[in-house]
């Protein structure tokens, strides 16, 4: 007569299902054997539990197909949702694009205003430089004319202090490179003066013979 097992098939299955509910995961034969305090044949517990799992998978009902009208309504709802989302995205893209174009136009306008202001300042500075350069040229020319027309009795200046060549070179260097160079005006030549007549010597008295 065969020996009665310590744990019936029903007890093994109930223990495994209870462990699944409590632990929330798949249960193995080891888990059931531990829950039974290690009593019973481990190979038999594993065989009973695996057979139960296989039977349970076969007994699961297949997915019941939805009615045709329900499936059609779901398809229409999905299509409408996709169209709504697409319109929202298109509108957002259009608003962002319009905002970026407006900001770019404002920045371009600001840059144009700054460029115009800087151009005016540069033009004013160029006019001021040209005016100061002309003033400097006139001053240097007046110095040269004054030096040439000086009287003869004025003591001659040392060679190092003669401003005519150095002043002309300095005025030429300070001119703007874009301005046409003026041809140097030759200095007026000093008119030669006639030599003063020598005073006549009075006749010497003749010496009387001694």
Assess whether 123 and 146 both reside in one domain. Answer: yes
Number of structural domains (the chain) is 2
pLDDT for residue 157 is more than 70? no
Assess whether 94 and 47 both reside in one domain. Answer: no
pLDDT one-digit tens code per residue, 85-137? 999 999 999 999 999 999 999 999 999 999 999 999 999 999 999 999 999 98
CA distances from 123 to 100, 113, 136, 173 (A): 34, 15, 20, 21
- Arithmetic mean of pLDDT, 15-32: 86
pLDDT one-digit tens code per residue, 167-203? 555 555 555 555 555 555 555 554 445 555 555 555 5
- Tokens for 153, please give them: 């009795």
Q: Is the dihedral of CA 143, 144, 147, 149 positive or negative?
A: negative
**How does 128-140 read in b/e, with b if 16+ C-beta sit within 10 Å?**
eeeeeeeeebeeb
Assess whether 51 and 127 both reside in one domain. Answer: no
Question: Would 64 be classed as within a structural domain?
Answer: no
pLDDT for residue 207 is more than 50? no
Which residues, 6 or more positions from 127, have their beta carbon under 8 angstroms from its beta carbon?
Answer: none
Cβ-based neighbour number of residue 185 at 10 Å: 9
Check residue 84 and give its pLDDT.
93
- What band does 209 get if pLDDT is binned at 50, 70 and 90? very low
- Tokens for 131, please give them: 């005016």
- Arithmetic mean of pLDDT, 26-53: 86
Assess whether 41 and 94 both reside in one domain. Answer: no
Check residue 6 and give its pLDDT.
76
d(CA 187, CA 100): 68
Enter the DSSP assignment of 160: G
- Tokens for 62, please give them: 């297949």
Q: Which is higher by pLDDT, 113 or 55?
A: 113
d(CA 110, CA 93): 26
- What band does 210 get if pLDDT is binned at 50, 70 and 90? very low
Assess whether 107 and 32 both reside in one domain. Answer: no
DSSP three-state, residue 151: coil
- Tokens for 149, please give them: 């027309």
Q: Domain limits at 24?
A: 9-58
Assess whether 98 and 138 both reside in one domain. Answer: yes
* Max CA separation in the chain (angstroms): 206
Q: Model pTM?
A: 0.29
Assess whether 86 and 49 both reside in one domain. Answer: no
């Amino acid at each position: 007569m065969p020996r009665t097992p310590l744990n019936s098939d029903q007890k093994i299955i109930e223990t495994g299902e209870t462990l699944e509910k409590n632990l929330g995961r798949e249960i193995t034969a080891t888990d059931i054997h531990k829950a039974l305090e290690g009593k019973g044949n481990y190979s038999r517990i594993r065989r009973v539990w695996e057979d139960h799992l296989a039977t349970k998978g076969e007994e699961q009902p297949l997915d019941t197909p939805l009615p045709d009208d329900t499936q059609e309504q779901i398809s229409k709802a999905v299509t409408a949702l996709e169209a709504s989302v697409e319109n929202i995205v298109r509108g957002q893209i259009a608003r962002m694009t319009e905002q970026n174009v407006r900001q770019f136009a404002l920045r371009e306008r600001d840059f144009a205003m700054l460029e115009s202001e800087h151009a005016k300042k540069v033009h004013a500075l160029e006019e001021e430089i040209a005016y100061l350069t002309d003033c400097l040229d006139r001053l240097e020319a007046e110095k040269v004319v004054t030096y040439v027309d000086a009287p003869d009795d004025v003591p001659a200046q040392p060679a190092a202090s003669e401003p005519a060549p150095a002043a002309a070179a300095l005025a030429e260097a300070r001119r703007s490179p874009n301005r046409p160079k003026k041809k140097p005006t030759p200095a007026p030549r000093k008119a030669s003066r006639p030599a003063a007549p020598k005073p006549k010597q009075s006749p010497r008295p003749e010496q009387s013979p001694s």
